[in-house]
Amino acid sequence: MSKIIGIILILVGGFLIYKGAARKDSLAGGLAETGSDIANKVDGGARVPDHYYYLIGGGILVAVGIGATVGGRKAM
């Protein structure tokens, strides 16, 4: 059962990475990144564009999925 969950986590994580990369390369992602950079320089805040959350979350899900698939419990 843990292997199935691991594979699902890998697939969902891969999808999030794909969506984050597509958003980063789009016009809206470029504008969000530029807007965050300008706002951070004005007030010294630590804003992060939303596509970074997709990339980070996808990477975490892929890592957990690989761990669940490879290191899952052995059936007795």
Each domain of the chain, given as residue ranges in start order, spans: 2-70
What distance lies between CA 62 and its chain's CA centroid? 9
Report the C-alpha gap between 18 and 75 in whole angstroms: 33
In a 13 Å sphere around the CA of 72, the CA atoms on its Cβ side amount to 16
Residue in this structure with the two tokens 């199935």, named with its chain if needed:
4
75, pLDDT greater than 70: no
Report the C-alpha gap between 37 and 41 in whole angstroms: 6
pLDDT confidence tier of residue 74, bands split at 50, 70 and 90: low
In a 13 Å sphere around the CA of 31, the CA atoms on its Cβ side amount to 3
Residue in this structure with the two tokens 């698939």, named with its chain if needed:
69
Q: Report the largest interatomic distance among the alpha carbons of the chain, rounded to a whole angstrom.
A: 60
Q: Which residue has the higher pLDDT, 29 or 61?
A: 61
43-65 per-position pLDDT tens digit: 888 888 889 999 999 999 999 99
